Structure 1
């Protein structure tokens, strides 16, 4: 049976690297992305994108967006947008994908170091909340789907060299890099390598885990 992997956010920095890695491994790819006109937080949009897909081997949810500022700057429009883009979309996608998944499949959701340590004003309170919520969703799904031998894990990156960082000033980038013990921003290809491992037989006993790929920013 052909391996078919769904990558949400597959036109973006991390999602694109994951799509490239899985494609190179011989997987057939289904991509959901705003750039393709999809709304991953809308069940009807996700159902349409999956129409005709016979089965899924892996699901990688790498979509998301950031906010900014502190709670005093936060309006409900930003709160709802960031939670929808990161957390609601993960719920909607996994709910639609699970009936298509066969035993032994793998789901990888994306948290963040912000979901580990509470974040900062560069990405805002909604982002930290959404990414922390993704850890809870990962653990719930891991227990709930274990009887079907479907594994569910999360990756929690630190700063990654994607367009998401381009919104920051050089001073902000330098300050962020100074908080990383290894002193380097992670290339998206390294995140894709972690996703490849989580989707492989080498991780057959790994479920409910949060894999921190952050250069040492969080050592929990």
Structure 2
């Protein structure tokens, strides 16, 4: 039987690209609050908020029941609410942490018993290079993505005995609906600071997820994989 995959945040952007890529090799359940594209790539779609642990658990139970298990989980749900810290509201902080970090934990906690029973368990979190280096105006977002690294490495240790791998992909500046709303000058600066000289695409991230879910990545766990065009290397010469 083909692997069964769950992708959160599958309705748009990176999550949709991941679902589309994994659909070549797996039966994919997409989960999001909305699905703007009626012809999305997922084999089945579930509408749920990752911040609601009961809704996530119910969706995963349904998927596992229909498919007799769950093999790959990709946590791609995420939001931004950028403000400098002294102007950031309590809701700006708590909502970003709730979706980006707690939502990933809710998903991983519900999926872990099923991944432990799989012979090919994979758990991938979509983080960010800003969770590694920080970013002006993104204290909430950077903290949430940094938290994913600690979460992933702890889960990697907990799940290793069952041969489940847990890794983080850290995208750089990716051309998604989330970033397309930014001013042109912000995008231009990001490109200028990227050694490879372009924005990343959701398909760049999806290809990395495909690798981490493959047999070829079976000895890789607890890793943080930057997919950033070299942004973390520093200034372009």
TM-score interval (norm. to shorter) = over 0.9
Unaligned residue ranges in structure 1 (runs of 5+): none
- The separation in 2 between residues aligned to 1:3 and 1:28, in whole angstroms, is 6
Give the secondary structure class of the aligned counterpart of 2:121. Answer: strand
Partner SS state of residue 167, structure 2: strand
Alignment correspondent of 2:24: 24
Q: Distance in 1 between matches of 2:109 and 2:11?
A: 22
Residue 62 of structure 1 corresponds to 76
Q: Which residue of 1 is the match for residue 122 of structure 2?
A: 106
Q: Deviations over 1:98-154 (max 9, x none)?
A: 111213311000110110111222xx2100000000011011011111001000000
Q: Does 1:138 align with 2:149?
A: no
Is 1:43 aligned with 2:30? no
Q: Give the stretch that moved more between structures: 128-137 or 170-179.
A: 170-179
Paired residue secondary structure (2:7): strand
**Paired residues, what number?**
217
Matched with 2:9 is 9
After superposition, the CA RMSD in angstroms is 1.3
SS of the counterpart of 2:120? Answer: strand
Does 1:34 find its partner at 2:41?
no
Give the TM-score, by structure 1 length: 0.95
Distance 1:38 1:132, change over 3 A: same
User: How do 1:60-139 residues align onto structure 2 when only pairs under 5 Å count?
Assistant: 60-101=74-115, 102-121=118-137, 124-139=138-153
* Unmatched runs of 5 consecutive residues or more in structure 2: 35-45
SS in 2 for 1:146: helix
Query: In the alignment, what sits opposite 2:178?
Result: 164
Q: Which moved more, 1:132-141 or 1:52-61?
A: 52-61
1:19 aligned counterpart, secondary structure: helix
What TM-score do the two structures reach when normalised by structure 2? Answer: 0.88
Does the CA contact (< 8 Å) of 1:56 and 1:100 recur in 2?
yes
SS at match of 2:21: helix
Query: In 2, Cα distance between the equivalents of 1:182 and 1:191?
Result: 15
Deviation by residue 1:4-50 (Cα, 9 ceiling, x = unmatched)? 0000011121111110111122x111111011531112111102212
